[in-house]
Amino acid sequence: MLDNFKEINNNFLRLYILYTVKYMPYWAVVSIFALIYLFISVQRFPFIKIDRPAGVFTGVTLLVLSKVITLEEGYGFIDWDVITFLLGMMIMISYLQASGFFGAAASFVVRACRGPKSLLAGVIFSSALLSALFVNDTVCLLMTPIVAAAAAAVKINPIPYLAALALSSNIGSALTVTGNPQNMYIGIRTGIGFLQFAGITAVPVLFSLAAVYAVLRAVYRKETAAPFKAPAELAGQAPVDLPLAVKSLAALLLTLVLFISGAGYPFAALAGATVIIITARIKPALAFKRVDWPILLFFAGLFVVMGAFEKTGCMAGLISSAAGLTEEGGLYSLGLFSAVTALISNAVSNVPAVILMMPAAEGSDKSAALLALISTFAGNLTLVGSVANLIVAERAEASGVSFSFAEHLKAGVPVTLISCAAAVLWIFLLL
């Protein structure tokens, strides 16, 4: 009996070791990812102050400490082409921001508008265009106080125009590879050309911008019909450093030419950044302070977390199912793929969603473009769906305007449904 007990005990021990070796990494990475999700979505805890980059950084540290991955494996998971591309673009945008260009562009738009309807159209068009050329978060950061100040100057409700800024900046950023971080990632992974990408996304983006105008006019009918009560006078607008603005725009133009000519995205971004660093007559440290370093840390950490997911096989079933949907190419299949992408984008934000779903969309440029469109458009669903939305809300609060979660839903839900449906239908027709 004692021998039988020892045999049972040894078998149990072997099973325990086998389970631990085989399944513990799976549960560890799932638990750590759940914790990271809490950091990304909630951010506010009673006894700890932590933001998204710090939350991801903490998760990566836990993955290494729990031996799910090694530190060397973590380095290997990071896509340094994407990090380099982001850094180069951020440096150029930092110089352009330092020149006062964004504030002047927004100020020009609101001064040129003569009534609420033209102001609404002007905010939609300008925020979408600037977001297509530059990162949408930067556009929202700089335009929000201008839009709020313009609304106060002419004594109108600022909410419809702030909603227009948030919604349109997200939609406009879907047009190009450089519009937002998730598009940059998709561009790097697929190698899709700058003009080719814009050619695929242009129709659903333009249709969605028209939908933003129509929805906001319907939801805020009274607010967008009331006439201006005073001429717009925007106080506190800093003067533009014209030479620096021209040099920054020239560097961005050079980068765009390199994109179109087929040069690699990281190389083009570094070339443009180097040109403005050499030609601008300001200390580089002043521009480097404006670079969003936490975003780079956030991206690097996400690569490591998603790499750990791949290593443990957590994503295999989801990616395989999603890849089958995009390969089928049917309207129902593309719609289901888009619904999954939209849900994940709102659950963990669009950047992690794209990193997670990218293997399922690498089969064709159109599938990759659909992933870019849906992940970006889905950010309009709720206030926490994209960083750009949160920036508008927080900057508006600083200007004395309350832009709540419920207020965003009024236009965010119908705009998201319309824009996602347009994207699915358009890609279906192209396939």
pLDDT at 17: 39
Backbone angles phi, psi at 264, to 5 degrees: -60, 145
What per-residue confidence (pLDDT) applies to 239? 78
For β-strands 44-45 and 48-49, DSSP reports them as antiparallel
Counting beta carbons within 10 angstroms of the beta carbon of residue 276, is it exposed (0 to 12), middle (13 to 18) or buried (19 or more)? Answer: buried
**Separation between Cα atoms, residue 42 and residue 228, nearest integer Å:** 39
Runs of H (alpha helix) within 66-173: 71-77, 80-98, 101-112, 116-133, 136-153, 159-173
The dihedral of CA 403, 409, 410, 414: what is its sign? positive
Find, among 267, 240, 265, 298, the residue nearest to 95 by Cα. Answer: 240
Question: What pLDDT score was predicted for residue 23?
Answer: 47
**What pLDDT was estimated at residue 322?**
58
pLDDT of 14: 47
Under-70 pLDDT residues of the chain? 1-26, 28, 37, 40-48, 52, 106, 110, 229-238, 313-329, 348, 431
Is the Cβ–Cβ distance between 322 and 129 less than 8 Å?
Answer: no
pLDDT at residue 9 in the model: 47
Give the model's pLDDT for residue 147: 85
